[in-house]
Amino acid sequence: MNSIPTTKNTISTKWGFEFNIDKVKTKFYANFNQADLQATYQCCPAWLLGANLIFNIQNKKVEGYNFGVSHAPKDNFHIGVKHESTAKDKFDLGKFFFYFYHAASATQTIGTEFSLNWASKAVTARAGLSHKFSDDTSGKIKVDHQGQSDFVVKHKISDSVTGTLTSGMKITDFAAG
């Protein structure tokens, strides 16, 4: 087993700033290779717009972008659409996400996500459940359309330390033995 990193760029640092005013939040982070600009705008209490641009400083080209809109028609219920670029060389239709989540109670949230990759016409689906066991312990489970399930349990040990246990398995492989 080879545990030595295979790339020369094993450490990456970024610097940047955040600028927030009333309904607009912006973040700008950069290093010597890449700059990332994120912005969100809350046009009214129930609507949130957002965008992200990733710029390659050396090539002087936009490498990626995504934008989306989220709507909260009721308290604790959100629906949204997001578009994400999939090609670094050109602007084209990439991947679309359609999602909703509902905070059913103070301790449980459920959600789903559907995606469509425009180029390959591949469709995916995921469903998830988040549960808060106590103020210090929470867990999540996600299952996708192919039976891949992911689990995570987080426990706050102190104000500065949180322990995490994560695992995943393909349910169809488990059922097949």
Mean pLDDT by 10 residues, the chain (177 residues): 45 83 92 91 93 90 90 91 80 86 91 92 94 96 92 93 91 74
**Structural domain includes residue 138:** no
**Structural domain includes residue 68:** yes
Q: What is the pTM of this model?
A: 0.68
What is residue 88's predicted lDDT score, i.e. its pLDDT? 67
**Structural domain includes residue 80:** yes
Q: Identify any residues that bridge with 27 across adjacent strands, giving them in sequence order.
A: 18, 38
What is residue 4's predicted lDDT score, i.e. its pLDDT? 44
Range of the domain at 61: 16-100
User: What distance in Å separates the CA atoms of residue 102 and residue 127, rounded to the nearest whole number?
Assistant: 12
**Structural domain includes residue 161:** no
3 state DSSP class of 117 = strand
**Structural domain includes residue 62:** yes
Domain count, the chain: 1
**Structural domain includes residue 51:** yes
User: Which value, to the nearest 10 degrees, does the dihedral of the CA atoms of residues 142, 131, 168, 161 take?
Assistant: 130
**Structural domain includes residue 111:** no
What is residue 94's predicted lDDT score, i.e. its pLDDT? 87
**Structural domain includes residue 9:** no
Q: What does the block give as tokens for 37?
A: 């600009």
User: Which value, to the nearest 10 degrees, does the dihedral of the CA atoms of residues 5, 7, 10, 12 take?
Assistant: -160
Q: Tell me the one-letter amino acid at 54.
A: I
What is residue 172's predicted lDDT score, i.e. its pLDDT? 79
Q: HSE on the CB side for 143, CA within 13 Å?
A: 6
What is residue 89's predicted lDDT score, i.e. its pLDDT? 65
Q: Which residues contact 128 (CB under 8 A, 6 or more apart)?
A: 110, 111, 112, 113, 140, 141, 142, 143
User: What distance in Å separates the CA atoms of residue 161 and residue 12, rounded to the nearest whole number?
Assistant: 23
